[in-house]
């Protein structure tokens, strides 16, 4: 195994680098063996690009080893065109067999309503694992590629994978903390989230005293764009849905595309989750094609009595179809 070390202050360690990108660049272009990059505590402000396989990034501390950048979609570039969503990623991962442990990934551009979409992570590829990591952002914190086949507007997918083939990959998130507000987990990948905390953040200082009937919406956790015919989309297993938003102001998800698939299993949901649970984004035609489902949700926000009519409560037998082994496969 190749090993590299990253620290803000260089030491006498072999293969020692002061930036994360320089350590990644040192991995051979034709690499075919495991590579472990140790990253010391500290904040590394770099826009990272990772396109080599079999790399593991391992931080010294989940909360104190921070990979961060600060680009937002509304920024106007020199050519007069907005940066757009998919050129904002603090960390761009486009490979297979990649692992991250004990790291924070952040986009500090600001609130989405001010700076637009701002990705902490753009993740595309197969057999991708995040273990004990934090993903921090506002709108569009975590993108799980690939992109849908077509954009709603010309240039909407402007960025590194706009013209690439759309190939579904499998991603696994374990014991992670993911924070955002609007559509902050989105995309087309098959992704399994196990024992993660999903935090809906409040975006202003308005008082929390709303009635359910006139509730302001602060958050949509997911915006899945699962491809037609794809067996699995997002599965959340034994996750805890937390937040600082008012009661009943957050939705479990809405469909970015009409075949979106999202399932919550044994998840604890606090009172910020809206009783309807799910939003259709005004896409009535999608009611017959989306798959939004839950099994044994608990907590103040987990009551199924008033859930949206186009969502589903799974039976025990149906829930068994969404185990990690069945969703990700035995070769993960």
- The C-alpha atoms of residue 241 and residue 249 are separated, in whole angstroms, by 13
Q: Which element (helix H / strand E) includes 154?
A: none
Contact by Cβ (8 Å): 310, 287: yes
How far is residue 201 from each of residues 56, 66, 136, 172, 241, measured CA to CA in Å? 30, 20, 10, 23, 11
CA distance 190 to 56: 20
Between vectors from CA 157 to CA 154 and to CA 164, what angle results, nearest 5°? Answer: 115
3-class SS letters over 192-214 = EEECCEEEECCCCCCCCCCCHHH
Residue count of the chain, please give it: 332
Rounded to whole angstroms, the Cα distance separating 140 from 329 reads 27
Whether 183 sits among the annotated catalytic residues: the reply is yes
Q: Of 126, 131, 140, 237, which residue is the catalytic one?
A: 140
Read off the tokens for 158: 């402007």
| Encoded tokens for 178 | 């993911």
Catalytic residue among 131, 181, 183, 280: 183
Question: Which positions are catalytic?
Answer: 140, 183
């Amino acid at each position: 195994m190749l090993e590299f070390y990253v620290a803000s202050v260089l030491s006498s360690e072999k293969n020692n680098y002061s930036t994360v990108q320089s350590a990644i660049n040192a991995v051979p272009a034709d690499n075919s063996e495991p590579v472990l990059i140790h990253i010391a505590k500290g904040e590394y402000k770099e826009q990272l690009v990772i396109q080599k396989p079999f790399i593991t990034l391992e931080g010294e501390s989940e909360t104190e080893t921070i990979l961060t950048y600060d680009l937002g979609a509304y920024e106007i570039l020199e050519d007069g065109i907005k940066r757009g969503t998919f050129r904002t990623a603090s960390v761009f991962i486009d490979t297979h067999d990649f692992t991250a442990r004990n790291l924070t990934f952040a986009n500090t551009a600001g609130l989405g309503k001010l700076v637009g979409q701002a990705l902490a992570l753009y993740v595309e590829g197969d057999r991708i694992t995040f273990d004990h990591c934090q993903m921090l952002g506002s709108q569009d914190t975590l993108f799980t590629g690939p992109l849908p086949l077509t954009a709603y507007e010309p240039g909407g997918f402007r960025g590194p994978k706009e013209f690439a083939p759309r190939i579904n990959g499998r991603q696994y998130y374990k014991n992670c903390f993911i924070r955002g507000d609007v559509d902050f987990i989105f995309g087309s990948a098959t992704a399994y989230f196990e024992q993660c905390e999903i935090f809906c953040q409040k975006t202003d200082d308005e008082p929390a005293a709303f009635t359910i009937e006139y509730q302001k919406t602060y958050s949509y956790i997911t915006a899945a764009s699962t491809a037609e015919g794809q067996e699995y989309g997002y599965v959340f297993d034994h996750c805890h849905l937390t937040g600082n938003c008012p009661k009943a102001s957050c939705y479990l998800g809405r469909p970015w595309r009409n075949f979106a698939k999202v399932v919550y299993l044994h998840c604890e949901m606090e009172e910020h989750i809206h009783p309807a649970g799910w939003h259709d984004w005004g896409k009535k035609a999608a009611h017959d094609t989306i798959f939004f489902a839950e099994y044994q949700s608990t907590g103040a926000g987990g009551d199924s009595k008033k859930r949206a009519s186009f969502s589903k409560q799974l039976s025990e037998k149906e829930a068994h179809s969404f185990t990690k082994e069945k969703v990700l496969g035995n070769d993960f």
